[in-house]
């Protein structure tokens, strides 16, 4: 479908500068814009591209004033970020939606699948499982015995949900996610071998959670591993047994949390953060990339480094660390001068 600048401005409550009949059918980055695409300027450092982009329409802030001629039609809005989000949501909603239950899936007679669900080829739903209204279960998804899935949840291809786990409503699990595999529990024996410790709990994922591709969340040894509502986890994340992640916490890729640790609500964990076992991270904490957390972090604190230090202490320490070669040379010169005096 095509949309004119006038139509888009009407949807966003914006104003058109240029050709109101300019039409677009797709979106693009501002530097890669082509004719027929809509793009946007949210970061001033990309302003140079607005004068050369081939995009037909550009969203800009009301305060934007060009310093050179612009070929594209502009739509001025109060908040470009909010406007872009609204348009992307509308564009996504207009994409064709998967429907129907494949004849090549396997649904146990003892499972319950609500109306309006999509079940793809070779998906397996075991006995006692229930899938809520409007869910999308893509090909090769496995839903184990007694699993409960709320309304409007999407499981992309290859997701595996082990027995007894719970997934809330309006969740998104991307390809390759594994929910409920055994926690990593082994008891060392005198002869150097290990006895496996049975993992008898489950995983509970509350509403409005999104989990990135190939992320693994282990079942608890007892009780539950819990991902609270609104949590957003990136790709390639490992969550150990009996971990609890609080509401609206966000984590970038390759983060790992060892067993029985607790993360508060509204935290931000950057990429490749490692959290040791039995650690508690307070609410609103922020952990920088590649940080190693082996001690509790109070509410609202910032941590960097491995082992992690409070933000200001880390930056002061790093300033010294960066200058170590010069410090070493100066120290050698002082030692040499002292020896010469002697």
Among 241, 265, 278, 315, which one carries the catalytic annotation?
Answer: 241
Looking at the predicted structure, is the pLDDT value of residue 182 above 90?
yes
**What does the pLDDT look like over 235-255, one tens digit per residue?**
999 999 999 999 999 999 999
Per-residue pLDDT band for 197 (boundaries 50, 70, 90) equals very high
Among 68, 94, 120, the domain boundary falls at 94
Given phi > 0 = left and psi -120 to 50 = alpha, else beta, which region is 300?
Answer: left
Among 94, 124, 154, the domain boundary falls at 94
Residues 36 and 161 in one domain: no
pLDDT at residue 45, as a whole number: 93
Domain for residue 101, yes or no?
no
Arithmetic mean of pLDDT over the chain: 95
**What does the pLDDT look like over 109-157, one tens digit per residue?**
999 999 999 999 999 999 999 999 999 999 999 999 999 999 999 999 9
Residues 152 and 65 in one domain: no
**What does the pLDDT look like over 310-331, one tens digit per residue?**
877 777 877 777 788 888 888 8
Residues 30 and 132 in one domain: no
CATH of the domain at 54: 3.40.1390.10
CA distance 161 to 203: 9
Is residue 92 within 8 Å of 26, Cβ to Cβ?
Answer: no
Q: Report the pLDDT averaged over residues 46-64.
A: 96
Helix (H, G, I), strand (E, B) or coil at 283: coil
The verdict on whether 315 is a catalytic residue reads: no
Residues 172 and 279 in one domain: yes
Could you give the dihedral angle defined by the CA atoms of residues 24, 89, 160 and 263, in that order, rounded to the nearest 10 degrees?
Answer: 130
Residues 326 and 310 in one domain: no
Residues 262 and 246 in one domain: yes
CATH of the domain at 178: 2.160.10.10
Total-model pTM = 0.85
Per-residue pLDDT band for 280 (boundaries 50, 70, 90) equals very high
Residues 244 and 336 in one domain: no
Q: Specify the higher pLDDT residue, 22 or 338.
A: 22
pLDDT at residue 49, as a whole number: 96
**What does the pLDDT look like over 250-277, one tens digit per residue?**
999 999 999 999 999 999 999 999 999 9
Tallying the residues shown for the chain, one arrives at 342
Domain for residue 269, yes or no?
yes
Per the structure, how many domains does the chain have?
3
Domain for residue 221, yes or no?
yes
Per-residue pLDDT band for 95 (boundaries 50, 70, 90) equals confident
pLDDT at residue 96, as a whole number: 86
Looking at the predicted structure, is the pLDDT value of residue 73 above 80?
yes
pLDDT at residue 23, as a whole number: 96
Residues 72 and 186 in one domain: no
Looking at the predicted structure, is the pLDDT value of residue 66 above 80?
yes
Residues 112 and 260 in one domain: yes
Residues 72 and 118 in one domain: no
Give the contacts of 301 (CB within 8 A, at least 6 positions apart): 282, 285, 286, 310, 311
Looking at the predicted structure, is the pLDDT value of residue 339 above 90?
no
**What does the pLDDT look like over 222-236, one tens digit per residue?**
999 999 999 999 999
Helix (H, G, I), strand (E, B) or coil at 210: strand
* Enclosing domain of residue 323: 317-342
Residues 125 and 235 in one domain: yes
Residues 286 and 336 in one domain: no
């Amino acid at each position: 479908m095509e949309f004119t600048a006038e139509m888009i401005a009407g949807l966003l409550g914006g104003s058109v500068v240029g050709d109101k009949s300019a039409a677009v059918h797709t979106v693009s980055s501002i530097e890669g814009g082509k004719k027929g695409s809509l793009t946007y300027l949210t970061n001033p450092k990309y302003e140079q591209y607005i004068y050369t982009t081939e995009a037909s329409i550009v969203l800009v802030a009301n305060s934007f004033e060009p310093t050179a001629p612009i070929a594209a039609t502009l739509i001025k809005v109060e908040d470009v970020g909010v406007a872009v989000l609204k348009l992307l949501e509308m564009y996504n909603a207009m994409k064709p939606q998967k429907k129907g239950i494949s004849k090549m899936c396997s649904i146990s007679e003892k499972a319950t699948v609500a109306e309006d669900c999509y079940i793809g080829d070779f998906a397996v739903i075991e006995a006692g499982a229930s899938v809520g209204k409007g869910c999308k279960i893509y090909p090769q998804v496995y839903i184990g015995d007694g699993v409960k899935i709320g309304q409007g949840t999407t499981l992309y291809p290859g997701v595996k949900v082990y027995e007894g786990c719970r997934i809330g409503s309006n969740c998104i699990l991307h390809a390759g996610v594994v929910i409920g595999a055994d926690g990593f529990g082994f008891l060392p024996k005198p002869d150097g071998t290990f006895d496996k410790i049975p993992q008898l709990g489950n995983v509970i994922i509350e509403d409005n959670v999104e989990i990135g591709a190939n992320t693994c969340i282990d079942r608890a040894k007892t009780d539950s591993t819990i991902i609270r509502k609104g949590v957003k986890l990136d790709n390639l994340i490992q969550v150990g047994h009996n971990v609890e992640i609080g509401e609206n916490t966000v984590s970038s890729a390759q983060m790992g949390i060892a067993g029985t640790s607790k993360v508060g609500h509204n935290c931000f964990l950057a990429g490749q953060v490692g959290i040791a076992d039995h650690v508690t991270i307070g609410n609103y904490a922020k952990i920088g990339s590649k940080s190693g957390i082996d001690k509790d972090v109070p509410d609202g604190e910032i941590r960097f480094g491995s082992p992690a230090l409070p933000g200001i202490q880390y930056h002061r320490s790093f300033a010294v660390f960066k200058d170590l070669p010069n410090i070493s040379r100066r120290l050698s010169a002082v030692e040499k001068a002292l020896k010469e005096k002697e």
